[in-house]
């Protein structure tokens, strides 16, 4: 019988497990990859089917070794195992102790060596871990294999005693060290019993060339603070050690016997290249943010120069053209100002809208004018190459509403309402600019419009952004811009 149910669903459906027992089994299934690599074997986690007295078990989880060949290339999760197929499993469950023997691989005639380890929690056996190794694997045991298997057997005994997994959630970072990265085994006096070749290489990169076997790490100049903390707290400790140009990530896991620390296993990974890359990314990030900051400053300088130039012009038409150019430049500067504060090239467009509204509000002729702007909806995150032209488009549409929707009469102050509605649905972004002004002329046509602002809007929307634009009347003028926008990919600069 096969099932695609989740870990928790299988446990509750077949074994009626929940609460702390289920949490203990879940912790085991998130921290046992190390065990599979230490024993070069497949591990299966089984729990008995409720009410059947250990006659049948369901496979809750499995893990394959990265240090050896798997005997289960297919997914075994959800498989039901009965007493006839695996009498050793039933025996281990009823005895509550580790049982070893020969069997056949599930679903195959291949012979395998089977070790059944009871999983004990708060004094009760709540599941079983089986270690399954093909008897014809052909692996020649050597010193490394002997020490790895010795470490696994100590963890197996801890599982049977209820001391492993440790009583807290363990979330391994993506770069956490693995068995293949390097292993050091310490005895009860914290002296080195064994250091794998990769571990020795990491020590060499840290400038430690002394013979480590039989000595404590501190005696050869290795910072052992993480080891002492793990042993004293009887909990795993992860720490990064920097030595010269090298960075080594350590994970120290204590061996426990009778509730006391009895040595430790150290997994170590050389992360020097990763840290060098991180520093390069941070430097690149800072450089690009500085570029955006300088571009923003340069644009503001250009806008200020245009403003000064406009004051010297006698022609009203020329001054108006200068003001429009200044406003467009300031709208682009708003985007660069936001990008200068971000660690990526992605911006939340809504954060740009309020500064853009201020740019338009400042263009209103007198303080007595009462034009109200409202923004609703959410445009989500947009890449900089989309946000910049879209900011110019929105600026032009709001300014167009100010200039044409509310004609000034007999020196009266302007009064009106402009609403910007943003909506993101899948891969489409909709920008709706609505006013309650006089509306568009009956014979209005965007294609025949001679205004520079609308020409810019049409060119940016249909050309650069690949979208569409519709203009009409709805208790005033309404402009709807639709843009195809792929989900923003957040990439560190």
Where are the domains positioned within the chain?
A: 7-161, 179-270, 275-484
* Residue 189 in tokens: 């006096």
Domains 7-161 and 179-270 share a fold: yes
Report whether 461 contacts 254 (CB < 8 A). no
Task: From 217, 265, 211, 206, select the one nearest 241 (Cα to Cα).
Answer: 206
From CA 460, how far away is CA 392, in angstroms rounded? 9
CATH for the stretch 7-161? 3.30.450.280
From CA 81, how far away is CA 77, in angstroms rounded? 11
From CA 304, how far away is CA 225, in angstroms rounded? 59
Report whether 186 contacts 266 (CB < 8 A). yes
Report whether 344 contacts 490 (CB < 8 A). yes
The superfamily in CATH containing domain 179-270 is: PAS domain (3.30.450.20)
pTM of the model: 0.61
Residues in a beta bridge with 239:
250
Per-residue pLDDT of the chain (493 residues; tens, 9 = 90+): 444 568 888 888 888 787 888 989 999 998 899 999 999 999 999 999 988 888 899 999 999 999 888 989 888 898 899 988 889 999 999 999 999 998 888 888 888 899 999 999 999 999 999 999 987 655 567 889 999 999 999 999 999 999 999 876 555 656 688 998 899 999 999 999 999 999 888 888 888 887 778 888 888 888 888 899 999 989 998 888 877 777 888 899 999 998 899 999 999 888 777 767 766 666 666 666 677 667 777 777 887 888 788 787 888 788 877 877 777 787 777 777 776 666 567 888 888 888 888 877 776 656 677 788 888 999 888 887 888 888 888 888 888 888 787 877 766 777 888 889 999 987 889 999 998 888 888 777 777 776 777 888 888 888 888 889 988 888 888 899 999 987 555 544 4
Residue 457 phi, psi dihedral angles, 5° rounding:
-60, -50
From CA 455, how far away is CA 340, in angstroms rounded? 30
From CA 405, how far away is CA 420, in angstroms rounded? 15
From CA 326, how far away is CA 163, in angstroms rounded? 70
The fold adopted by the segment(s) 275-484 is: Heat Shock Protein 90 (3.30.565)
Report whether 271 contacts 247 (CB < 8 A). yes
Please provide the DSSP assignment of 439-474 as one string: ---TT--TTT---HHHHHHHHIIIIIS--EEEEEES
The three-class DSSP label of residue 189 is coil
């Amino acid at each position: 019988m096969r099932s695609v149910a989740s870990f928790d669903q299988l446990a509750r459906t077949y074994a009626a497990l929940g609460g702390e027992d289920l949490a203990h089994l879940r912790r085991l299934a998130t921290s046992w990859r190390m065990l599979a690599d230490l024993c070069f074997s497949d591990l299966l986690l089984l729990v008995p089917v409720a009410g059947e007295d250990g006659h049948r078990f369901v496979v809750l989880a499995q893990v394959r070794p990265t240090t050896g060949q798997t005997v289960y290339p297919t997914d075994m999760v959800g498989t039901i195992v009965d007493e006839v197929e695996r009498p050793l499993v039933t025996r281990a469950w009823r005895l509550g102790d580790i049982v070893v023997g020969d069997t056949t691989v599930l679903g195959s005639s291949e012979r395998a060596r089977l070790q059944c380890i009871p999983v004990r929690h708060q004094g009760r056996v709540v599941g079983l871990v089986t270690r399954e190794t093909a008897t014809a694997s052909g692996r020649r045991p050597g010193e490394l294999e002997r020490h790895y298997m010795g470490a696994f057997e100590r963890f197996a005994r801890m599982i049977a005693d209820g001391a492993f997994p440790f009583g807290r959630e363990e979330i391994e970072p993506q770069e956490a060290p693995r068995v293949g990265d390097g292993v050091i085994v310490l005895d009860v006096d914290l002296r080195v019993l064994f250091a794998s070749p990769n571990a020795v290489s990491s020590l060499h990169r840290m400038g430690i060339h002394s013979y480590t076997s039989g000595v404590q790490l501190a005696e050869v100049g290795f910072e052992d603070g993480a080891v002492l903390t793990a042993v004293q707290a009887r909990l795993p400790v992860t720490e990064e050690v920097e030595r010269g140009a090298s960075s080594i990530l350590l994970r120290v896991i204590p061996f426990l016997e009778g509730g006391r620390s009895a040595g430790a296993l150290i997994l170590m990974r050389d992360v020097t290249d990763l840290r060098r890359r991180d520093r390069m990314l941070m430097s690149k990030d800072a450089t690009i943010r500085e570029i955006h900051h300088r571009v923003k400053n340069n644009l503001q300088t250009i806008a200020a120069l245009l403003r000064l130039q406009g004051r010297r012009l006698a022609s009203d038409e020329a001054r108006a053209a200068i003001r429009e150019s200044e406003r467009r430049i300031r709208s682009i500067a708003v985007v660069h100002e936001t990008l200068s504060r971000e660690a990526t090239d992605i911006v939340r467009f809504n954060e740009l809208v309020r500064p853009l509204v201020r740019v338009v509000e400042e263009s209103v002729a007198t303080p007595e004018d009462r034009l109200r702007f409202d923004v609703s909806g959410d445009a989500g995150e947009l890449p900089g190459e989309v946000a910049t032209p879209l900011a110019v488009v929105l600026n032009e549409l709001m300014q167009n509403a100010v200039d044409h929707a509310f004609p000034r009469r007999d020196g009266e102050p302007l009064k009106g309402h402009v609403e910007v509605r943003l909506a993101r649905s899948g891969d489409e972004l909709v920008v709706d600019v609505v006013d309650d002004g006089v509306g568009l002329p009956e014979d209005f046509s965007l294609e025949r419009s001679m205004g520079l602002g609308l020409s810019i809007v049409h060119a940016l929307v249909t050309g650069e952004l690949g979208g569409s634009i519709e203009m009409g009347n709805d208790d005033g003028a309404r402009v709807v811009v639709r843009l195809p926008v792929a989900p923003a990919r957040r990439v560190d600069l």
